[in-house]
Amino acid sequence: MHAPRTECLLNLIDQEYAIRDYQSDIPPRWCTGCGDNAILTAIQRLCRDEQLPPEKTVFVSGIGCSSRLPHYMNAYGFHGLHGRAFPVAEGIKMRRPDLHVFVTTGDGDCCSIGAAHWIHAIRYNMDMTVLMHDNQIYGLTKMQASPTSPRGLRSNTTPRGAYLEPLNPLTVTLGVPNVSFVAQAADWIPETLFDIVSQAYRHKGFSFVRVLQRCPEFMPHRFDAFVQDPSLTRLLVHQKGLTLTPDTSRTYRNQEIHDPGDLNRAREIASLTEEVPVGILYRNSEVPCYEDLREGERPNTPGLIRTVLDEEFDKFTIWPEDQPDQPAAS
Protein backbone atom coordinates (compact mmCIF):
# COMPACT_ATOMS: atom_id res chain seq x y z
CA MET A 1 0.00 0.00 0.00
CA HIS A 2 1.34 3.35 -0.98
CA ALA A 3 0.10 6.87 -0.53
CA PRO A 4 -1.22 8.22 -3.86
CA ARG A 5 1.65 10.70 -3.85
CA THR A 6 4.20 7.91 -3.70
CA GLU A 7 2.35 6.19 -6.51
CA CYS A 8 2.87 9.30 -8.67
CA LEU A 9 6.51 9.54 -7.71
CA LEU A 10 7.03 5.92 -8.59
CA ASN A 11 5.59 6.64 -12.00
CA LEU A 12 8.33 9.18 -12.56
CA ILE A 13 10.81 6.34 -12.79
CA ASP A 14 10.70 4.65 -16.11
CA GLN A 15 12.66 1.58 -15.42
CA GLU A 16 11.95 -1.24 -17.81
CA TYR A 17 13.09 -4.75 -17.01
CA ALA A 18 13.93 -7.08 -19.89
CA ILE A 19 14.31 -10.84 -19.69
CA ARG A 20 18.05 -10.59 -19.35
CA ASP A 21 17.56 -8.55 -16.15
CA TYR A 22 16.13 -11.66 -14.53
CA GLN A 23 18.97 -13.89 -15.70
CA SER A 24 21.69 -14.54 -13.17
CA ASP A 25 25.39 -14.83 -14.06
CA ILE A 26 25.19 -18.59 -13.68
CA PRO A 27 24.21 -20.34 -16.91
CA PRO A 28 21.65 -23.12 -16.32
CA ARG A 29 23.34 -26.42 -15.64
CA TRP A 30 20.45 -28.59 -16.69
CA CYS A 31 20.94 -31.21 -19.40
CA THR A 32 20.37 -30.03 -22.92
CA GLY A 33 16.74 -30.71 -23.83
CA CYS A 34 15.59 -30.64 -20.18
CA GLY A 35 12.07 -29.30 -19.69
CA ASP A 36 13.25 -27.20 -16.75
CA ASN A 37 14.60 -24.74 -19.30
CA ALA A 38 11.12 -24.08 -20.63
CA ILE A 39 9.80 -23.46 -17.12
CA LEU A 40 12.62 -21.03 -16.41
CA THR A 41 11.79 -19.16 -19.60
CA ALA A 42 8.11 -18.95 -18.71
CA ILE A 43 8.95 -17.53 -15.31
CA GLN A 44 11.35 -15.00 -16.73
CA ARG A 45 8.74 -13.89 -19.23
CA LEU A 46 6.26 -13.52 -16.41
CA CYS A 47 8.67 -11.40 -14.37
CA ARG A 48 9.33 -9.25 -17.40
CA ASP A 49 5.66 -8.82 -18.30
CA GLU A 50 4.66 -8.09 -14.71
CA GLN A 51 7.80 -5.96 -14.25
CA LEU A 52 8.51 -7.57 -10.91
CA PRO A 53 11.39 -5.78 -9.21
CA PRO A 54 14.11 -8.42 -8.71
CA GLU A 55 14.71 -7.17 -5.19
CA LYS A 56 11.03 -7.77 -4.37
CA THR A 57 10.91 -11.28 -5.75
CA VAL A 58 12.08 -14.43 -4.10
CA PHE A 59 12.42 -17.98 -5.36
CA VAL A 60 12.43 -20.76 -2.82
CA SER A 61 13.24 -24.36 -3.58
CA GLY A 62 14.14 -27.67 -1.98
CA ILE A 63 16.65 -30.08 -3.51
CA GLY A 64 16.67 -31.59 -6.97
CA CYS A 65 17.45 -30.60 -10.55
CA SER A 66 14.30 -28.51 -10.56
CA SER A 67 15.22 -26.95 -7.27
CA ARG A 68 18.28 -25.39 -8.85
CA LEU A 69 16.07 -22.85 -10.56
CA PRO A 70 16.60 -20.04 -7.98
CA HIS A 71 20.29 -19.99 -8.95
CA TYR A 72 19.42 -19.01 -12.48
CA MET A 73 17.15 -16.15 -11.53
CA ASN A 74 18.46 -12.70 -10.81
CA ALA A 75 16.28 -12.25 -7.73
CA TYR A 76 16.38 -13.34 -4.13
CA GLY A 77 16.58 -17.07 -3.72
CA PHE A 78 16.62 -19.71 -1.05
CA HIS A 79 17.90 -23.13 -2.07
CA GLY A 80 16.65 -24.95 0.97
CA LEU A 81 16.55 -28.42 2.41
CA HIS A 82 15.12 -31.37 0.57
CA GLY A 83 11.32 -31.27 0.90
CA ARG A 84 11.31 -28.07 2.95
CA ALA A 85 10.68 -25.39 0.35
CA PHE A 86 7.16 -24.69 1.67
CA PRO A 87 7.95 -23.95 5.30
CA VAL A 88 10.71 -21.60 4.21
CA ALA A 89 8.44 -19.84 1.71
CA GLU A 90 5.69 -19.56 4.34
CA GLY A 91 8.09 -17.95 6.78
CA ILE A 92 9.16 -15.44 4.14
CA LYS A 93 5.59 -14.59 3.21
CA MET A 94 4.55 -14.22 6.83
CA ARG A 95 7.36 -11.86 7.64
CA ARG A 96 7.46 -10.05 4.29
CA PRO A 97 4.00 -10.17 2.70
CA ASP A 98 5.15 -7.47 0.28
CA LEU A 99 7.45 -9.91 -1.54
CA HIS A 100 6.42 -11.98 -4.56
CA VAL A 101 7.10 -15.52 -3.48
CA PHE A 102 7.68 -18.39 -5.93
CA VAL A 103 8.36 -21.98 -5.04
CA THR A 104 10.00 -24.43 -7.40
CA THR A 105 9.99 -28.00 -6.37
CA GLY A 106 10.22 -31.45 -7.91
CA ASP A 107 8.00 -34.48 -7.71
CA GLY A 108 10.41 -36.04 -5.25
CA ASP A 109 10.89 -32.86 -3.30
CA CYS A 110 7.17 -32.08 -3.07
CA CYS A 111 5.33 -35.41 -3.13
CA SER A 112 7.84 -37.65 -1.39
CA ILE A 113 9.97 -36.22 1.37
CA GLY A 114 8.03 -32.94 1.44
CA ALA A 115 4.51 -34.36 1.28
CA ALA A 116 3.50 -33.31 4.79
CA HIS A 117 4.53 -29.72 4.18
CA TRP A 118 2.80 -29.75 0.81
CA ILE A 119 -0.59 -30.77 2.25
CA HIS A 120 -0.47 -28.13 4.94
CA ALA A 121 0.80 -25.46 2.59
CA ILE A 122 -2.33 -26.01 0.47
CA ARG A 123 -4.48 -25.68 3.57
CA TYR A 124 -2.68 -22.52 4.73
CA ASN A 125 -3.35 -20.98 1.32
CA MET A 126 -0.59 -18.38 1.56
CA ASP A 127 -0.15 -16.14 -1.44
CA MET A 128 2.60 -17.78 -3.48
CA THR A 129 3.09 -19.36 -6.88
CA VAL A 130 4.19 -22.97 -6.84
CA LEU A 131 5.69 -24.76 -9.81
CA MET A 132 6.02 -28.46 -9.29
CA HIS A 133 8.36 -29.80 -11.98
CA ASP A 134 7.06 -33.31 -12.43
CA ASN A 135 9.50 -35.42 -14.42
CA GLN A 136 8.28 -38.53 -12.56
CA ILE A 137 11.78 -39.42 -11.43
CA TYR A 138 14.54 -38.31 -9.07
CA GLY A 139 16.77 -36.58 -11.61
CA LEU A 140 19.51 -35.08 -9.52
CA THR A 141 20.36 -38.34 -7.80
CA LYS A 142 20.31 -40.16 -11.13
CA MET A 143 17.11 -42.05 -11.57
CA GLN A 144 15.32 -43.37 -8.55
CA ALA A 145 11.56 -43.93 -8.65
CA SER A 146 9.51 -41.05 -7.31
CA PRO A 147 5.91 -41.14 -6.04
CA THR A 148 4.71 -40.04 -9.48
CA SER A 149 6.74 -42.61 -11.45
CA PRO A 150 4.48 -44.76 -13.61
CA ARG A 151 3.87 -48.30 -12.45
CA GLY A 152 6.39 -50.69 -13.95
CA LEU A 153 9.11 -48.07 -14.38
CA ARG A 154 12.53 -49.63 -14.09
CA SER A 155 14.81 -47.39 -12.09
CA ASN A 156 17.79 -47.75 -9.78
CA THR A 157 15.50 -48.30 -6.83
CA THR A 158 12.96 -50.39 -8.75
CA PRO A 159 15.04 -52.62 -11.01
CA ARG A 160 12.04 -54.93 -11.50
CA GLY A 161 9.71 -52.10 -12.20
CA ALA A 162 7.78 -49.85 -9.84
CA TYR A 163 5.16 -51.81 -7.92
CA LEU A 164 2.69 -49.12 -7.02
CA GLU A 165 0.24 -46.95 -8.85
CA PRO A 166 1.62 -43.43 -9.02
CA LEU A 167 0.30 -40.68 -6.81
CA ASN A 168 -1.77 -38.07 -8.61
CA PRO A 169 -0.66 -34.62 -7.43
CA LEU A 170 -3.75 -32.98 -8.95
CA THR A 171 -6.34 -35.09 -7.16
CA VAL A 172 -4.39 -34.86 -3.92
CA THR A 173 -4.28 -31.07 -4.12
CA LEU A 174 -7.92 -30.81 -5.06
CA GLY A 175 -8.83 -32.90 -2.03
CA VAL A 176 -7.30 -30.62 0.57
CA PRO A 177 -9.55 -28.08 2.33
CA ASN A 178 -8.85 -24.44 1.40
CA VAL A 179 -7.39 -25.38 -1.98
CA SER A 180 -7.66 -22.26 -4.10
CA PHE A 181 -5.79 -22.73 -7.39
CA VAL A 182 -4.79 -25.88 -9.23
CA ALA A 183 -3.51 -26.06 -12.80
CA GLN A 184 -1.57 -28.40 -14.99
CA ALA A 185 0.86 -27.35 -17.68
CA ALA A 186 3.24 -29.17 -20.01
CA ASP A 187 6.71 -27.81 -20.61
CA TRP A 188 6.42 -28.56 -24.34
CA ILE A 189 3.47 -26.22 -24.88
CA PRO A 190 5.22 -22.98 -23.98
CA GLU A 191 2.32 -20.69 -24.86
CA THR A 192 -0.07 -22.28 -22.38
CA LEU A 193 2.70 -22.84 -19.86
CA PHE A 194 3.28 -19.11 -19.83
CA ASP A 195 -0.43 -18.36 -19.68
CA ILE A 196 -0.96 -20.73 -16.75
CA VAL A 197 2.05 -19.44 -14.84
CA SER A 198 0.76 -15.86 -15.32
CA GLN A 199 -2.69 -16.72 -14.05
CA ALA A 200 -1.21 -18.61 -11.15
CA TYR A 201 0.86 -15.59 -10.27
CA ARG A 202 -2.14 -13.28 -10.45
CA HIS A 203 -4.25 -15.50 -8.24
CA LYS A 204 -4.07 -14.40 -4.62
CA GLY A 205 -3.50 -17.54 -2.65
CA PHE A 206 -1.56 -20.76 -2.95
CA SER A 207 -1.39 -21.39 -6.70
CA PHE A 208 -0.30 -24.90 -7.41
CA VAL A 209 0.87 -25.64 -10.93
CA ARG A 210 1.98 -29.11 -11.80
CA VAL A 211 4.20 -28.90 -14.84
CA LEU A 212 4.76 -32.12 -16.76
CA GLN A 213 8.46 -31.90 -17.40
CA ARG A 214 10.60 -33.90 -19.77
CA CYS A 215 13.80 -35.40 -18.41
CA PRO A 216 15.59 -36.55 -21.57
CA GLU A 217 18.39 -37.90 -19.43
CA PHE A 218 16.52 -40.48 -17.35
CA MET A 219 13.00 -40.60 -18.80
CA PRO A 220 13.86 -40.08 -22.46
CA HIS A 221 10.62 -41.15 -24.11
CA ARG A 222 8.18 -40.76 -21.25
CA PHE A 223 6.17 -37.95 -22.80
CA ASP A 224 6.89 -38.60 -26.51
CA ALA A 225 3.37 -39.79 -27.18
CA PHE A 226 1.93 -36.56 -25.82
CA VAL A 227 4.47 -34.36 -27.54
CA GLN A 228 3.81 -35.99 -30.89
CA ASP A 229 0.06 -36.52 -30.72
CA PRO A 230 -1.74 -33.33 -29.66
CA SER A 231 -5.06 -35.19 -29.49
CA LEU A 232 -3.86 -36.83 -26.25
CA THR A 233 -3.76 -33.42 -24.60
CA ARG A 234 -7.10 -32.06 -23.43
CA LEU A 235 -6.97 -28.28 -23.26
CA LEU A 236 -9.28 -26.80 -20.65
CA VAL A 237 -10.73 -23.60 -22.00
CA HIS A 238 -13.08 -21.04 -20.52
CA GLN A 239 -13.48 -17.30 -20.58
CA LYS A 240 -12.11 -17.40 -17.03
CA GLY A 241 -9.39 -19.85 -18.02
CA LEU A 242 -6.82 -20.04 -20.80
CA THR A 243 -6.73 -17.75 -23.78
CA LEU A 244 -5.44 -19.68 -26.75
CA THR A 245 -3.60 -18.29 -29.73
CA PRO A 246 -5.09 -19.41 -33.05
CA ASP A 247 -2.00 -21.56 -33.63
CA THR A 248 -2.36 -23.41 -30.36
CA SER A 249 -6.07 -23.80 -30.96
CA ARG A 250 -5.41 -25.34 -34.38
CA THR A 251 -2.81 -27.75 -33.04
CA TYR A 252 -4.67 -28.78 -29.89
CA ARG A 253 -8.18 -29.50 -31.02
CA ASN A 254 -9.10 -31.71 -28.11
CA GLN A 255 -10.68 -29.04 -25.92
CA GLU A 256 -13.13 -28.97 -23.08
CA ILE A 257 -14.97 -25.96 -21.78
CA HIS A 258 -14.32 -26.15 -18.09
CA ASP A 259 -15.37 -23.58 -15.53
CA PRO A 260 -12.53 -23.33 -13.00
CA GLY A 261 -15.17 -22.74 -10.32
CA ASP A 262 -16.46 -26.29 -10.70
CA LEU A 263 -14.61 -28.34 -8.12
CA ASN A 264 -16.35 -31.61 -8.84
CA ARG A 265 -15.62 -31.49 -12.54
CA ALA A 266 -12.06 -30.43 -11.73
CA ARG A 267 -11.64 -33.61 -9.71
CA GLU A 268 -12.98 -35.71 -12.55
CA ILE A 269 -10.65 -34.05 -15.04
CA ALA A 270 -7.72 -34.51 -12.67
CA SER A 271 -8.43 -38.24 -12.64
CA LEU A 272 -8.24 -38.71 -16.43
CA THR A 273 -5.74 -41.43 -17.31
CA GLU A 274 -5.64 -41.74 -21.08
CA GLU A 275 -5.38 -38.01 -21.77
CA VAL A 276 -3.37 -35.25 -20.20
CA PRO A 277 -5.47 -32.27 -19.11
CA VAL A 278 -3.74 -28.93 -19.55
CA GLY A 279 -5.22 -25.73 -18.15
CA ILE A 280 -6.75 -24.30 -15.02
CA LEU A 281 -8.62 -27.01 -13.16
CA TYR A 282 -9.74 -25.03 -10.17
CA ARG A 283 -9.73 -21.48 -8.95
CA ASN A 284 -11.47 -19.92 -5.96
CA SER A 285 -10.43 -16.43 -4.98
CA GLU A 286 -12.66 -16.39 -1.91
CA VAL A 287 -10.45 -18.59 0.23
CA PRO A 288 -8.70 -16.44 2.83
CA CYS A 289 -4.90 -16.39 2.98
CA TYR A 290 -3.26 -17.42 6.20
CA GLU A 291 -0.99 -14.39 6.25
CA ASP A 292 -4.08 -12.17 6.17
CA LEU A 293 -5.89 -14.16 8.84
CA ARG A 294 -2.90 -14.00 11.11
CA GLU A 295 -1.77 -10.54 10.21
CA GLY A 296 -0.58 -8.99 13.43
CA GLU A 297 -1.65 -5.71 14.91
CA ARG A 298 1.93 -4.61 14.93
CA PRO A 299 5.07 -5.59 13.05
CA ASN A 300 6.82 -8.61 14.52
CA THR A 301 10.44 -7.76 14.91
CA PRO A 302 12.62 -10.35 16.56
CA GLY A 303 13.47 -7.72 19.18
CA LEU A 304 9.84 -7.01 19.86
CA ILE A 305 8.98 -10.67 20.12
CA ARG A 306 11.73 -11.11 22.67
CA THR A 307 10.50 -8.12 24.68
CA VAL A 308 6.95 -9.43 24.76
CA LEU A 309 8.08 -12.93 25.66
CA ASP A 310 10.25 -11.55 28.46
CA GLU A 311 7.27 -9.59 29.77
CA GLU A 312 5.26 -12.81 29.80
CA PHE A 313 7.98 -14.88 31.43
CA ASP A 314 8.50 -12.21 34.05
CA LYS A 315 4.97 -12.80 35.24
CA PHE A 316 5.90 -16.32 36.23
CA THR A 317 9.40 -15.72 37.43
CA ILE A 318 10.09 -16.10 41.11
CA TRP A 319 12.35 -13.34 42.33
CA PRO A 320 13.94 -14.65 45.51
CA GLU A 321 15.02 -11.17 46.61
CA ASP A 322 11.39 -9.97 46.59
CA GLN A 323 10.48 -12.04 49.61
CA PRO A 324 13.71 -13.03 51.25
CA ASP A 325 12.10 -14.55 54.35
CA GLN A 326 9.66 -16.83 52.66
CA PRO A 327 10.46 -20.20 51.21
CA ALA A 328 9.92 -20.42 47.47
CA ALA A 329 7.21 -23.03 47.85
CA SER A 330 5.08 -23.92 50.82
Ligand X SMILES: Cc1ncc(C[n+]2csc(CCOP(=O)(O)OP(=O)(O)O)c2C)c(N)n1
Asked if residue 106 binds Mg ion (CB under 5 A), the reply is yes
CB of 183 to another protein, least distance (A): 17
Contact pattern from residue 52 through residue 71 relative to ligand SF4, giving x for each residue in contact according to CB under 6 A and a dash for the rest: -------------x------
Residue 5 and residue 94: Cα distance in Å, rounded? 27
Three-state helix/strand/coil letters over 3-59: CHHHHHHHHHCCCCCCHHHHECCCCCCCCCCCCHHHHHHHHHHHHHHHCCCHHHEEE
Among 22, 118, 218, 252, binds ligand SF4 (CB under 6 A): 218
Which DSSP letter does residue 296 get? -
Is residue 2 part of the contact set for another protein (CB under 8 A)?
Answer: yes
63 binds, among ligand SF4, ligand X, another protein, none (CB under 5 to 8 A by kind): ligand X
Q: Residue 117's CB: how many other CB atoms inside 10 A?
A: 22
- Residues 279 and 249: beta-carbon distance below 8 Å: no
Residue 324: helix, strand or coil by DSSP? Answer: coil
Total of chain residues touching ligand SF4, rule CB under 6 A: 11
Q: Give the count of beta carbons closer than 10 Å to the beta carbon of residue 305.
A: 10
Q: Identify the bridge partners of residue 73 per DSSP, sorted by sequence position.
A: 23
Cα 162 to chain centroid, rounded: 27
Q: Report what 173 binds from ligand X, ligand SF4, Mg ion, none; CB cut-off 5-8 Å by kind.
A: none
Task: Quote the CA–CA distance of 264 and 242 in Å, as a whole number.
Answer: 19
Query: Restricting to residues 287-316, which ones interact with Mg ion according to CB under 5 A?
Result: none
| Interface mask toward ligand SF4 for 1-40; x: CB under 6 A | -----------------------------xx--x-x----
> Looking only at residues 64 through 123 of this chain, which bind ligand X when binding is defined by CB under 6 A?
64-66, 82, 106-109, 113
Which positions ≥6 away from 4 have C-beta within 8 Å?
A: none
Asked if 216 interacts with ligand SF4 (CB under 6 A), we say: yes
C-beta of 117 vs 133, nearer to ligand SF4: 133
Question: Cβ of residue 122: shortest distance to another protein, in angstroms?
Answer: 28
Residues that bind ligand SF4 (CB under 6 A): 30-31, 34, 36, 65, 135, 139, 215-218
Residues that bind ligand X (CB under 6 A): 63-66, 82, 106-109, 113, 133, 135, 137-141, 146
